[in-house]
Amino acid sequence: MRTIFPSPEVIHGHPPPVPVARKTSCEPIFSTQTANSLAMIIITRPDATEEQIQHIVSRVADWGLRAEVSRGEMRVVIGVIGAEDKIRQKPLGAFPGVESVMPVLKPYKLVSYEFRGTASRVKVGDVVVGAKEVVVMAGPCSVESEDQILSIAHSIRDSGAKILRGGAFKPRTSPYSFQGLGKVGLQLLAEARRESGLPIITEVMDTKDLELVAEYADCLQIGARNMQNFSLLREVGRTQLPVMLKRGMAASIKDLLMSAEYILSEGNFNVLLCERGIRTFETMTRNTLDLNAVPVLKAETHLPVVVDPTHGIGIRDFVPAMALAAVAAGADSIMIEVHNAPELAKSDGEQSLLPKDFDDLVRRVRGVAEAVGRAL
């Protein structure tokens, strides 16, 4: 009989280790998906007491509304979200300790900067994204073998990367291209995490794979091609795992923010936004890295901003320049593809840096980070 499907590729080395059981919840925490949701912001007085703040929060909860408390340097902001008719009837301005109350007028409400009034920090494993330190994520486009992922994990960690990337489920333009190792790839990532100590980010392409990917990942990646896969966005919103949402290649900045709103509206505020280049009429580069998006996003949303210069320009020699520019523009994190043998890579070899070039880049990123008041 003719074999239609070839047998899966054999991975070299010893059998992959049993994955560590990881607690993830796919139960909805709360959902703000009502036909007419409204978000209001309560700005408290600088001298508001903790008791007054807790009083507001518990009253809001009693009314069946959700309160999100953000503590800035000067004052506490309480974002309230729920059905418009319900919120409008409530005397939010009457609580002691309140200075002012205003509606969020933007179409993206929970992701808007004013909803929190301060920048959010998202923890990936023990790594904080959105603080003073610029976080470098790096790793191969695809997980290919045990030797490959372990070797890259160790070298990028030694160079200063804090998060390991690697795709196990790969969105490829051609159905005949390498599609990723799937579960075996996730197991290899878990082994690389154990060996290197680095938390891992990996892509989830489909709702049917979410439970599996969530067992392994410290951060879920939603790829550019899935930025408007609304059922996937809602499902990842029902976990509390960090999610890095990549901008679609034909998506506006507003589209990106609206997609992020889907995730937050399901209760997951652990979201990173990633600029990875958009399609333009330019043909000399793979995409056009839109660094305009960085300051715009930093002003429009409290969510941390990641830049992926690798996919943004798509040409190895030019990745470092755009990585440095991303940090200068205010990115909280950069994601770089690195491969120990790019000429043998099963995907994106032409844009992957060699470990030694990555090491050199991290050194230069540190200089730029310090020049713009950040650290590395």
66 binds, among ligand PEP, Mn ion, none (CB under 5 to 8 A by kind): none
> What SS3 state is found at 142?
strand
Q: Which span (71-79, 136-144, 241-249, 291-299) binds Mn ion, by CB under 5 A?
A: 136-144
- Identity of the residue, 41 or 335, whose beta carbon is nearer to ligand PEP in the bound complex: 335
Tokens of residue 35, six digits: 């036909």
Q: Which residue is nearest to ligand PEP (CB)?
A: 223
Nearest CA-CA partner of 276 in 251, 300, 259, 258? 251
Query: Which amino acid appears at position 107 of this protein?
Result: P
CB of 206 to ligand PEP, least distance (A): 14
Q: Which span (81-89, 133-141, 274-282, 352-360) binds Mn ion, by CB under 5 A?
A: 133-141
Q: Does 141 bind Mn ion (CB under 5 A)?
A: yes
Which helix (H) or strand (E) is 66 found in, with range?
Answer: strand 66-71
Which helix (H) or strand (E) is 88 found in, with range?
Answer: helix 84-89
CB of 185 to Mn ion, least distance (A): 14
Distance (Å, whole) CA 142 – CA 324: 24
303 binds, among Mn ion, ligand PEP, none (CB under 5 to 8 A by kind): none
Tokens of residue 144, six digits: 């290919």
Distance (Å, whole) CA 124 – CA 166: 15
Residues near Mn ion (CB under 5 A), total:
2
Distance (Å, whole) CA 112 – CA 123: 19
224 binds, among ligand PEP, Mn ion, none (CB under 5 to 8 A by kind): ligand PEP
Binding residues vs ligand PEP (CB under 6 A): 141, 167, 171, 223-225, 246, 276, 311
CB of 10 to ligand PEP, least distance (A): 23
What torsion do the CA atoms of 46, 51, 56, 59 make, to the nearest 10 degrees?
180
- Identity of the residue, 76 or 201, whose beta carbon is nearer to ligand PEP in the bound complex: 201
- Identity of the residue, 229 or 268, whose beta carbon is nearer to ligand PEP in the bound complex: 229
- Report CA Rg, the chain: 22
- Identity of the residue, 110 or 141, whose beta carbon is nearer to Mn ion in the bound complex: 141
CB of 85 to ligand PEP, least distance (A): 39
223 binds, among ligand PEP, Mn ion, none (CB under 5 to 8 A by kind): ligand PEP
Pairing of strands 76-83, 66-71: antiparallel
CB hemisphere CA count around 169 (13 angstroms): 22
Per-position x/- string for 348-367, each x denoting binding to Mn ion as judged by CB under 5 A, each - no binding = x-------------------
Distance (Å, whole) CA 254 – CA 217: 27
Judged by the rule CB under 5 A, the positions of this chain that interact with Mn ion are 141, 348
